[in-house]
Amino acid sequence: MAKRILITGAAGFLGSHLCDRFIAEGYYVIAMDNYITGDPKNLEHLESNPNFEFVEHDITEYIDIKSDLDYILHFASPASPIDYLKIPIQTLKVGSLGTHNLLGLAKAKKARILIASTSEIYGDPLVHPQTEEYYGNVNTIGPRGVYDEAKRFQESMTMAYNRFHGLETRIVRIFNTYGPRMRLNDGRVIPAFMGQALRGEDLTVFGNGSQTRSFCYVTDQVDGIYRLLLSNYELPVNIGNPNEITISDFAEEIIKLTGTTQKVIYKDLPVNDPLQRQPNIDKAKSILGWEPKVNRAEGMEKTFAYFKSLTQEQLHKSEHKDFTNYNK
């Protein structure tokens, strides 16, 4: 019989690509999402697949799965600053209550669980590039703390279940990932730049543009996660592309790629925005035999082709929902 896997946050950008990968690998996938930031369209192509089922549910509430489970992937969480600044309480709850519920489910089902952590646990790093042994430089009471600390708590809770209950756990620290199905207006730099280019707007750089990012194409990220889940390694592993670029240089790359004539404009840097972000992937290389294969030029072409395929209505309308009722 096919191995059974529960994927939370399945209607999101990365969650939906994970559903695709595990379906392709012969798994039976139970996808779970409450659509706070996910998009049903990301999973439409799987609806008729006999090895796929969808459950609409908020994981901060009790999770009832009747069938057996072999694996759980916990990817439910707002991941964009625009989202988690609008729904800070929900962000904290999904990282704490949601994680607790899923760890309890994994324990009850005797399932291995992989949780999605983030490079944001390193905060505005004082070590560069960032290794898994670096503890981070995070402002716990800053506006970004709701996301950063939710993920840091999530890691601590996961390791507590691992050590106290003997639960099989895995932790992936995800660095900037991009590709088709990103939300155009989610506030992250790649969809922001490409959306502005397609709408004929100037590209907005926050700060002086000297801050750096490292971008990993989604298929590479998914492959790293897949390998980590099936590995025997229980401590956190960075998965990302170490090819670093300044935001100013990246804006020029986007202008060249899109063939637009807009200029770059500069605005104030947001509070606690990290100035450097680059993964050390030595562990991923040695333990998982993984490293990224898709270079930035190839990945950006594929991503831009996806955004170009959107309708003018999709390009111009806001995709943000009113999250007021979730701030409880």
At 312, is the pLDDT very low, low, confident or very high (cuts 50, 70, 90)? Answer: low
| Contact predicate 319/307, CB 8 Å | no
Report how far residue 213's alpha carbon sits from residue 127's, in angstroms, rounded to the nearest whole number: 14
Read off the pLDDT band of 326 (50, 70, 90).
very low
How far is residue 10's CA from residue 12's CA, in Å, rounded to a whole number?
5
In sequence order, what DSSP letters do the residues of 124-150 get, joined into one string?
S-SSSSBPTT---B--TTSTTHHHHHH
123 torsion bin: left (phi>0), alpha (psi -120 to 50), beta (else): left
Distance from C-alpha of 73 to C-alpha of 120, rounded to nearest angstrom: 19
321 has a pLDDT exceeding 70:
no
SS3 171: strand
At CA 326, angle to CA 325 and CA 328, rounded to 5? Answer: 95
Q: Identify each DSSP E strand in the chain by its residue range.
A: 4-8, 28-33, 52-56, 71-74, 112-118, 169-174, 177-178, 203-206, 212-214, 216-217, 237-239, 244-246, 264-267
Which residues are within 8 A (CB) of 176 and not within 5 positions of it... i.e. 6 or more apart?
Answer: 119, 188, 213, 214, 215, 216, 240, 277
Q: Where are the domains of the chain?
A: 4-178+216-239, 189-213+242-277+294-319
CB-based contact 137:125 (threshold 8 Å): yes
Mean of pLDDT over the chain: 92
Confidence of residue 316 (pLDDT cuts 50, 70, 90): low
Name the catalytic one among 27, 28, 122, 147: 147
Q: What is the CATH number of domain 4-178+216-239?
A: 3.40.50.720
Residue 82 pLDDT level (bands cut at 50, 70, 90): confident
Average pLDDT of the segment spanning 233-243: 98
Taking 70 as the threshold, does the pLDDT of residue 173 lie above it? Answer: yes
In this predicted structure, what is the pLDDT of residue 322? 44
Best CATH choice for the domain 189-213+242-277+294-319 from the list 3.10.180.10, 3.90.25.10, 3.40.50.720, 2.40.10.410: 3.90.25.10
Give per-residue pLDDT as tens, 154-168: 999 999 999 999 999
User: Are 277 and 176 spatial neighbours (Cβ–Cβ below 8 Å)?
Assistant: yes
The tens digit of pLDDT for each residue in 261-286 reads: 888 888 887 776 778 889 999 999 99
Strand partners for 217: 178
Based on the residue annotation, tell me whether 147 is a catalytic residue of this protein: yes
| pTM, rounded to two decimals | 0.93
